[in-house]
Chain A
Amino acid sequence: MKGEAELKVVNLRKWFPVRRGIVSTLLSRKTEYVKAVDGVSFEVRKGEVFGLAGESGCGKTTTGKTVLRLLEPTGGEIYFEGRDITALNKAEMKQMRRKMQIIYQDPYQSLNPRMTVFDIISEPINVHRLSDSPAETEEIVHKSLEDVELIPAEDFVFRFPHELSGGQRQRVAVARTIILQPSFIVADEPISMLDVSIRAGILKVMLQTKEAQDITYIFITHDLAYARHICHRGAIMYLGKIVELASMDNLVNNPLHPYTIALMMAVPVPDPTLGKARAVISGEVPTPINPPSGCRFHPRCSKATDICSRQEPELVEVSGGHFVACHHAH
């Protein structure tokens, strides 16, 4: 059912301890952390494509992996189909994993180079005992290759990853993922390594199966133009926090957070008659080890006042479904 929360994340945190040199260990200084994800809350509705966007290092991948418990959360709750999955043990999580899958950015690294396409795709079938006979396995593999438009399937089943183009590899990765009929997929920059001309083809096979199987997606990207065309709603992250969350339309046409506004103005447009992309803020994202106090964006923000360096703004709903974390945006 549309509108219902498939995934709900409450105050999720993932901190990585910073590896220290011998000297500071001897001086027994306090452990420092990379606060990669630091108190993030959002809901993903059944059947939607939810975008997670933001600059490199803002915590998109860490968020995606932590909601699947591929990384153990440092804190917070993750509800999947109403159940808090942080409480599940290993065996229960393995069962759950069938329904919750990830597609990685790099099709060159995510496929085992020594396995054929057939082995790669049939592996999850065997692990989860989805087939009763070799003939049935073969049928499922062929069907899934056809679903991702690797046609005719017999041309591909005995190939190794190095015998495939980048786009074909990513199709195999998609096929392997959807074969388990998951209800939820985190797609972590699934097209960013691929050529422009074939990106749309990969997105099409991903979204076709979404319609057919009613899959919910988190689509991670740093490319806002793609997010615009693929996602229904989305969140903009900055230094481990969500600064704004809204429908894609609102994020693009009515951004409220100064950081979102700056991002949108910086996106170049493939049309020479439109105004140029502009950098309205200077500098670059600081390190997440000791993030700025208060609002993490305040040192780069032209609207910043006293309160911004003292108090962290909450993510609040300013109009139907449009959330912003800024002292001055409402």
Chain B
Amino acid sequence: MTILEVQDLKTYYSTLKGDVKAVDGVRLQMEKGESLGLVGESGCGKTTLALAIMRLLPWNGRIVGGKILLNDVDIVGLDEAIFDKDYRWKRMAYVFQGAMNALNPVFKVGDQIAEAITIHEDVAKREALDRARELFSLVGIDPGRITSYPHELSGGMKQRAMIAMALACNPDFIIADEPTTALDVIVQAQTLEVINELQKKLGITMMLITHDLSVVAQTCTTCAIMYAGNLVEYADIDTTFSDPVHPYTQALISAFPSIKEDRRELISISGVPPNLLNPPTGCRFNPRCPHRMDICTKEKPEYLEIGDRHFAACHLLTNGG
């Protein structure tokens, strides 16, 4: 069953220098229970895609085209009052990038979670606090800690508390934006174990945003690679690593070190990601691509299904190479 379908989504930011085309024609479909890793380098538009889906864009950001279907309802045009009452946090939730620093320092964490519940559901504070306790044990924090203030929690505990908060209204779709980036490796492993458990227990559909391919390899069932506002490849997790077809996916995988390999020279990708005020014409990866052909600088490659639920946008696939 398809939970989320994004069709040709474009989301731009207006700035004095013009529009930043942060998300520029993204197509994506997520099935119930899927755990999608959205991977890409800094500034490629991952957070913007998430904010567009949650309709939490900042004032200068706007959706300029496309559809976002949640269980077949287009939420782009939905009245804000309805979206806020029935969708945001209730059916879909978002763990903000850097969220662990977003807890309000003057309130107890349990009260903050309880408040999130009472705003959206008609329950008494007491019942909400009981739910907060349950959520804490679900994410592996001692339920007694709901009376702690944020500064009394470690970084890893704060991040789990934010995940608990996102779960407060029983959403069936969660976007977690770089949930482990600021954490040390052992705490990261603890947090990813919690996320994996939750998925198994609650059957939640999840989008995990990260720049770390190894986190995706070990947590997700599918992977979407984003580059300069576009998705360049989407596949199940095994295919992503065993048979990537897009030169950017391939380059990213060889640039990524593995502790399990023997010592080797790491391979870099020449050049840098483009400025999204003025992205290159044709394929946005063409200035850095080792396989660049004439057509790549002129025509934008179509995002095609090249195998079962395997999508990619590259001229090599249609024009040989």
- Contacts from A to B (Cβ < 8 Å): 55-56, 165, 167, 195-201, 203-204, 222, 224-226, 228-229, 248-249, 252, 262-274, 276-279, 281-282, 284-285
Complex contacts, B255 vs chain A, CB 8 Å: 196-197, 199-200
Complex contacts, B41 vs chain A, CB 8 Å: 195-197
Q: Which among B48-56, B88-96, B211-219, B309-317 touches the partner chain?
A: B211-219
Complex contacts, A203 vs chain B, CB 8 Å: 266
The distance in angstroms between the C-alpha atoms of A278 and B157, with both chains bound, is: 17
Q: How large is the interface on B (under 10, 10 to 19, 20 to 34, 35 or more residues)?
A: 35 or more
Residue B256 interfacial (CB < 8 Å): yes
Residue B189 interfacial (CB < 8 Å): yes
The distance in angstroms between the C-alpha atoms of A274 and B260, with both chains bound, is: 9
Residue B78 interfacial (CB < 8 Å): no
Beyond the given A225-B214, A277-B189, please list 5 additional residue pairs across the A-B interface where CB-CB is below 8 A: A196-B256, A197-B252, A200-B268, A272-B238, A279-B193
A228 x B257 contact (CB < 8 A): yes
Complex contacts, B189 vs chain A, CB 8 Å: 265-266, 268, 277-279
B218 x A204 contact (CB < 8 A): no
A270 x B256 contact (CB < 8 A): yes
Contact of A279 among B186, B213, B240, B267 (CB under 8 A): B186
Complex contacts, A285 vs chain B, CB 8 Å: 184
Give the Cβ gap from A198 to chain B, nearest Cβ, in Å: 6
B156 x A284 contact (CB < 8 A): yes
B238 x A197 contact (CB < 8 A): no
Complex contacts, A229 vs chain B, CB 8 Å: 257, 261, 263-266
Q: Which residue of A lies closest to B242 (CB)?
A: A273
B155 x A267 contact (CB < 8 A): no
The distance in angstroms between the C-alpha atoms of A271 and B256, with both chains bound, is: 11
Contact with A along B235-271 (1 / 0, CB 8 A): 0011011000000000111011111110111111110
Contact of A55 among B185, B241, B258 (CB under 8 A): B185
7 pairs of A and B residues whose beta carbons are closest in the complex? A200-B268, A200-B266, A201-B268, A279-B189, A268-B214, A266-B189, A197-B269
A263-B258 contact, Cβ under 8 Å, with A248-B263, A272-B238? no
A272 x B218 contact (CB < 8 A): yes
Residue B99 interfacial (CB < 8 Å): no
B residues 188-227 in Cβ contact with A at 8 Å: 188-190, 192-193, 211-215, 217-218
The distance in angstroms between the C-alpha atoms of A199 and B264, with both chains bound, is: 14
B217 x A271 contact (CB < 8 A): yes
B266 x A252 contact (CB < 8 A): no
The distance in angstroms between the C-alpha atoms of A265 and B192, with both chains bound, is: 13
The distance in angstroms between the C-alpha atoms of A224 and B185, with both chains bound, is: 9
Complex contacts, B215 vs chain A, CB 8 Å: 268
B259 x A200 contact (CB < 8 A): no
The distance in angstroms between the C-alpha atoms of A262 and B156, with both chains bound, is: 17
Residue B60 interfacial (CB < 8 Å): no
A272 x B259 contact (CB < 8 A): no
The distance in angstroms between the C-alpha atoms of A284 and B188, with both chains bound, is: 11
B residues 262-282 in Cβ contact with A at 8 Å: 263-270, 272-273
The distance in angstroms between the C-alpha atoms of A167 and B43, with both chains bound, is: 14
A-B contact pairs, 15 of them (CB 8 A): A55-B184, A56-B184, A197-B255, A197-B273, A200-B265, A201-B268, A201-B270, A222-B185, A225-B259, A228-B261, A265-B189, A268-B212, A268-B218, A270-B217, A279-B190
Give the Cβ gap from A208 to chain B, nearest Cβ, in Å: 11
Q: Which residue of A lies closest to B39 (CB)?
A: A196
Complex contacts, A272 vs chain B, CB 8 Å: 217-218, 237-238, 240-241
Complex contacts, B319 vs chain A, CB 8 Å: none
B residues 164-194 in Cβ contact with A at 8 Å: 184-190, 192-193
The distance in angstroms between the C-alpha atoms of A36 and B174, with both chains bound, is: 39
Give the Cβ gap from A227 to chain B, nearest Cβ, in Å: 8
A195 x B42 contact (CB < 8 A): yes
Contact of A276 among B218, B264, B267, B269 (CB under 8 A): B218
Complex contacts, B154 vs chain A, CB 8 Å: 284
Complex contacts, B269 vs chain A, CB 8 Å: 197-198
Q: Which residue of B lies closest to A282 (CB)?
A: B190
The distance in angstroms between the C-alpha atoms of A282 and B160, with both chains bound, is: 14
A277 x B192 contact (CB < 8 A): yes
A196 x B211 contact (CB < 8 A): yes
Complex contacts, A270 vs chain B, CB 8 Å: 213-214, 217, 241, 253, 256, 258
A195 x B273 contact (CB < 8 A): yes
Give the Cβ gap from A242 to chain B, nearest Cβ, in Å: 18
Most buried by B among A224, A249, A272: A272
